[in-house]
Amino acid sequence: MRKLFALLLFPLCVQAAGEGSWQASSTGITLTWRGVSASSKVLAPSQPVEGLMTVVVWRYELIGPTPAGLRVRLCTQTRCVELDGQSGTTGGFNNIFAGEPLRFVWEVPGGGRLIPALKVRSNKVIVNYR
């Protein structure tokens, strides 16, 4: 039910954009060790933007099970926001320059090999700004 709600909410957030929005997506990563962070490719606007971020919408898709303790953050160059699921929205980047690139950062606490490996199929953001 939560996934269905998030999928329905995703396009509404785009429509609610104040002055504008941009979106970006990339293929995911594979994380094979606990206690090691892995970062997605940079997600940035394809054209110059002006303004400050308001709401950022995110979604990522995993291949296989979610490892216990998985920690996922969405980060600019200066700030990270802890994500509480595979999709949602955050106001945690309010008043940050809207052209600031974002990236997902994944980590599973502990040590040793992660079996099965964490495989991220894709990640996507929509940045609303004013």
Handedness of CA 11, 13, 17, 20 (dihedral sign): negative
Place of tokens 């997902």: 104
- Under the banding of pLDDT at 50, 70 and 90, the label for residue 77 is very high
All structural domains of the chain with their residue ranges: 2-129
Alpha carbon distance 68, 83 (integer Å):
15
Which pLDDT value is given to residue 1?
A: 47
Is the predicted pLDDT of residue 40 greater than 70, yes or no? Answer: yes
Q: Which fold has domain 2-129?
A: Jelly Rolls (2.60.120)
Phi, psi (deg, nearest 5) at residue 3: -60, -45
Q: What is the dihedral of CA 20, 45, 58, 33, to 10 degrees?
A: -170
- Per 3-state DSSP, the chain is made up of helix, strand and coil in percentages (nearest 5) of 10, 50, 40
Which pLDDT value is given to residue 17?
A: 40
